[in-house]
Structure 1
Amino acid sequence: MAAATGNDNDNGFDNQLKPESEPATVNLSPPLSKNAQKKQLKQQRYEAKKAEKKAQEKEQKRKEGERKHKEWEETLANATEEERLKLIESRKSLRKERMDKRWEEKEKKMERLNRAKEVGQKIVVDVDFAHLMSDSEISSLVQQIMYCYAVNGRSTSPCHLWLTGVQGKMSAELDKLPGFEKWFIEKESNCYIQAMADQKDDLVYLTADSDTVLDDLDPKHIYIIGGLVDRNRFKGITMTKAQEQGIKTAKLPIGEYLKMSSSQVLTVNQVLEILVKFLETRDWKTAFFTVIPQRKRTGLDPVGSSKLEPLSEEHQEEDADADKHDHLERKKVCVEVPLESSS
């Protein structure tokens, strides 16, 4: 995509060479409703506040580094020559130990991801909706994808992760991520229907509107998560897309294990993390209660099933961590949530 420059029309020739009948660019995206405009404004305020907080944390980290460096210099200054040598050697030893541990963890991670590429469960994040989203919404989705990649990399049973429909603004934003070109992930500019044409019968789109409940993950199937901001503007879009393409659909069995609260929106990374957690445990309840924050569920069984039990202390701690660290969820980068009952 060509970049615009500030001096394109300095001599006026460019305008003279353009044909008068040149068609204007048509924006196919539906206009934002008042409610959507309010959400967008709220999102912009949140981004500004987050940037300010990030700058404060960076400054605090810098000051903390200076304080520790000063303490270290004072410790060395007050030590004898023999003590100073021992302190320096000890510090070098600890640093080498940390680096060796990081390298070992990295090697193990790459081994897991390499194996996942060969025999792992294929999961696709469909980012072919960028033309429907604003710049800020695309940016939010990119951050969700970044979190997906991190979650998958930490997993003991990672999936074979794909990104399809990576082009235009979405591609440009992803390329801005540090080290994205080295990500251990499949990146396709085409839609999955073209990229996986020989496996069309194995494609399964996860959507809330499906009548099929997903009881298990079939290693032969390829599960698709739709990345779309503000689902309310495009209700049923993933289901319609799957039907037009003639591929199977399914929804997660969330309704069999818990009842969602008034907010029935899960982020892309939450859906991916649920699937990855299920691959680790083969237990839907553990996956749901580990990933879905308490504020999004009532904790009550909606159908009187005996599958639902009180939260264990371990799950309560994990849930508290989810509420504390799941700030990315507030960006409302969402998918058609594969709930038991669709909206």
Structure 2
Amino acid sequence: MLETAGENEPIATAVVTSAREVPTMSKSARKRLLKQQLLEARKTERKAAEKERRRKDLERRRREWDDKLTGASEEERARLLESRKEMRRERMEKRTDDRGKRAERLRRSAEVGQKVVIDLEFSGLMSSGEIQSLAHQILYCYAANRKCESPAHLWLTGCKGEIGTQLQRISGYDKWIIEKEEKSYIEQFQDQKEKLLYLTADAENTLEELDDNKIYIIGGLVDRNRWKGITMKKANEQGIQSARLPIGDYVKLASSQVLTVNQVVEILLKFLETRDWKNAFFDVIPLRKRGAVDTECGDTVNVAKIERECNEASEAEITEDRGEEDEFDDVFLVTKKQRSELTTDDTDLTETADDTNVADDNKT
């Protein structure tokens, strides 16, 4: 499929076509495009609805706080304000302490952590939009790693050019506790070449365990389907080892076995924590990407189909419930887990920072 880009932007494609050739989109491609558009539309609607819910919740808590102060005596008012200040001080102290512990863990990972390299030498094969997407994936990698009790020793190699520029635009990037190298990994680890192992879905060997002495490399490439086999070819040309994650042994993906960069990093981090591949895959890979799984008795269960049926049944139940009781609102569309995650501290009238706000790791 022909990749389009912005004006004056180079286009990376596996097949070069003339300007007059107009590629015909197949029926399956049209269906995929429509599905993607619908998913994006639903995602946008959900985000807007959640933002509005949070705004209303914040306003409600402010009103409740103001009402409490208005109806209180001077003595009670002073007590409430002092209590509020004390709680905020405690929260700030805890956040500062947690921030310091995270920073110390990340610094220690440089000595004892599993080395994981993200290879950023594919910028010339991607559009500006794809490079921007890759930068966001790297942000997610760092956010996931900094939350780990035993983080990996993350490296960015080939970190220059447009991908370097995109990363610099991320707030706080200059304070990240992560190795940033303009050199390629083959140059950076030239005296440890025997330890290098490229993780690629095209490898013949399957990764069974993580070796503390190995340096695992992940290709920083968006839309690998357009460049199938490129990371395997690179590993072969450089004479370094390669292996694929044992995804097929535990999960049957609905499409290809290509995962995003941050998903691969998160899987490795989860495996380092649990030493259980199945647990790592099921914890990280979204349900919508799982086509089927093998049960212990050997049966194959189509997870995606079950998910669709459950969603349809849930929506039907919600519609019926709303017809009987008008007081029920959109809270039915949010799972119990999501509601728990989205609940904010009632003692604070400001929204908490997002987990991906990683601008202050170096502050102690």
TM over 0.5: yes
Pairing of 1:181-200 with structure 2 (within 5 A): 181-200=174-193
1:144 to 132, 137, 143: 137
How far does residue 57 in structure 1 lie from its aligned partner after superposition?
Answer: 5.8
Which amino acid is the alignment partner of residue 120 of structure 1? Answer: G
What do residues 191-213 of structure 1 show as CA deviations (whole Å, max 9, x unaligned)?
11112222111110001111111
1:224/1:145 Cα in 2 relative to 1: closer, same or farther (>3 Å)? same
Task: Specify the SS of the correspondent of 2:252.
Answer: coil
1:204 paired with 2:187, answer: no
How far does residue 164 in structure 1 lie from its aligned partner after superposition?
Answer: 1.1
How far does residue 257 in structure 1 lie from its aligned partner after superposition?
Answer: 2.1
Pairing of 1:296-311 with structure 2 (within 5 A): 296-301=289-294
Pairing of 1:1-343 with structure 2 (within 5 A): 27=10, 29-30=12-13, 61=54, 64-301=57-294
Q: Determine the C-alpha separation between the residues in 2 that align with 1:26 and 1:232.
A: 21
1:117/1:111 Cα in 2 relative to 1: closer, same or farther (>3 Å)? same
Structure 2: gaps spanning 5 or more residues: 1-7, 18-22, 304-335, 342-364
In the alignment, is the contact (CA less than 8 A) between 1:212 and 1:249 conserved in 2? yes
Q: Determine the C-alpha separation between the residues in 2 that align with 1:42 and 1:213.
A: 32
Which amino acid is the alignment partner of residue 64 of structure 2? Answer: E
In the alignment, is the contact (CA less than 8 A) between 1:147 and 1:269 conserved in 2? yes
Q: Determine the C-alpha separation between the residues in 2 that align with 1:255 and 1:185.
A: 31
Which amino acid is the alignment partner of residue 12 of structure 2? Answer: S
How far does residue 159 in structure 1 lie from its aligned partner after superposition?
Answer: 0.4
Structure 1: gaps spanning 5 or more residues: 1-24, 312-319, 326-343
Q: Determine the C-alpha separation between the residues in 2 that align with 1:300 and 1:60.
A: 36
28-37 or 61-70: bigger deviation: 28-37
Task: Specify the SS of the correspondent of 1:229.
Answer: coil
What do residues 156-180 of structure 1 show as CA deviations (whole Å, max 9, x unaligned)?
2210011111111111111111100
Q: Determine the C-alpha separation between the residues in 1 that align with 2:129 and 2:38.
A: 11
Q: Determine the C-alpha separation between the residues in 2 that align with 1:231 and 1:184.
A: 28
1:26/1:230 Cα in 2 relative to 1: closer, same or farther (>3 Å)? closer
How far does residue 78 in structure 1 lie from its aligned partner after superposition?
Answer: 1.5
Q: Determine the C-alpha separation between the residues in 2 that align with 1:69 and 1:124.
A: 46
Q: Determine the C-alpha separation between the residues in 1 that align with 2:182 and 2:294.
A: 42
1:46/1:192 Cα in 2 relative to 1: closer, same or farther (>3 Å)? farther
In the alignment, is the contact (CA less than 8 A) between 1:264 and 1:296 conserved in 2? no
1:43/1:226 Cα in 2 relative to 1: closer, same or farther (>3 Å)? farther
In the alignment, is the contact (CA less than 8 A) between 1:113 and 1:153 conserved in 2? yes
In the alignment, is the contact (CA less than 8 A) between 1:256 and 1:305 conserved in 2? no
1:53/1:135 Cα in 2 relative to 1: closer, same or farther (>3 Å)? farther
TM-score (norm 1): 0.73
Which amino acid is the alignment partner of residue 89 of structure 2? Answer: K
Q: Matched residue pairs, number?
A: 289
| RMSD (Å), alpha carbons | 3.6
Task: Specify the SS of the correspondent of 1:137.
Answer: helix
Which amino acid is the alignment partner of residue 275 of structure 2? Answer: R
In the alignment, is the contact (CA less than 8 A) between 1:113 and 1:184 conserved in 2? yes
How far does residue 62 in structure 1 lie from its aligned partner after superposition?
Answer: 5.1
Q: Determine the C-alpha separation between the residues in 2 that align with 1:246 and 1:321.
A: 47
Q: Determine the C-alpha separation between the residues in 2 that align with 1:66 and 1:297.
A: 40
Equivalent residue number for residue 338 of structure 1: none
What do residues 46-82 of structure 1 show as CA deviations (whole Å, max 9, x unaligned)?
8899788767766665555444334323321221011
Identical pairs, percent: 54
Q: Determine the C-alpha separation between the residues in 1 that align with 2:289 and 2:337.
A: 14
Task: Specify the SS of the correspondent of 1:300.
Answer: strand
